[in-house]
């Protein structure tokens, strides 16, 4: 009996609430494909979490009141695949405002 693959998908939408967004819709398609292939998927909406700024693994040890990163990192470290999706719309020049947002999907596969 094989152990199912585990994936963490991180929604890096600029919207603070995990509601409907272009980024979330595209990420849902990725999650559906993974689910159909028996991959256990954990979804994280980064903007809805309190991730402290800094260079240390747990910024609460360096003055931050709250840092969700250690919990997120535990989930990422236990996964076989990490998929992060964000919209690159903020990097677009103003003259291209009428174009649809461009999305970047970044996936990495870690084989044990």
- Tens digits of per-residue pLDDT, 10-33? 888 877 777 777 778 888 888 898
105 vs 85: CA distance, rounded Å = 5
Q: Rounded to 5 degrees, what are φ and ψ at 13?
A: -60, 150
Domain boundaries, the chain: 6-109
* pLDDT value of position 108: 46
Record the pTM: 0.72
* pLDDT value of position 89: 54
Task: Label residue 108 exposed, middle or buried (CB < 10 Å: 0-12, 13-18, 19+).
Answer: exposed
* pLDDT value of position 4: 83
Residue keyed to tokens 């870690």: 110
84 vs 107: CA distance, rounded Å = 6
87 vs 99: CA distance, rounded Å = 13
Mean pLDDT on 76-85? 85
In CATH, the number for domain 6-109 is 3.40.50
The whole-chain average pLDDT of the chain stands at 77
11 vs 44: CA distance, rounded Å = 6
* pLDDT value of position 42: 93
* pLDDT value of position 66: 93
Please tell me the total number of residues recorded for the chain in this structure.
112
- Whether residue 1 has pLDDT greater than 60: no
- Whether residue 107 has pLDDT greater than 70: no
Q: Measured over all CA atoms, what is the biggest interatomic distance in the chain, rounded to whole angstroms? A: 55
Q: Rounded to 5 degrees, what are φ and ψ at 30?
A: -65, -45
Query: Where does the pLDDT of residue 87 fall: very low under 50, low under 70, confident under 90, or very high at 90 and above?
Result: low
112 vs 108: CA distance, rounded Å = 13
* pLDDT value of position 69: 93
* pLDDT value of position 98: 44
């Amino acid at each position: 009996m094989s152990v199912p693959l585990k994936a963490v998908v991180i929604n890096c939408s600029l919207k603070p609430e995990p509601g409907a967004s272009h980024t979330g819709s595209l990420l849902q398609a990725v999650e559906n494909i993974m689910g159909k292939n028996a991959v256990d998927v954990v979804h994280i909406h980064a903007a809805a979490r309190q991730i402290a700024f800094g260079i240390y693994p747990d910024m609460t040890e360096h003055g931050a009141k709250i840092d969700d990163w250690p919990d997120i990192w535990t989930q990422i470290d236990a996964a076989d695949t990490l998929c992060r999706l964000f919209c690159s719309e903020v990097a677009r020049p103003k003259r291209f405002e009428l174009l649809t947002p461009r999305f970047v999907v970044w996936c990495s596969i870690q084989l044990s």
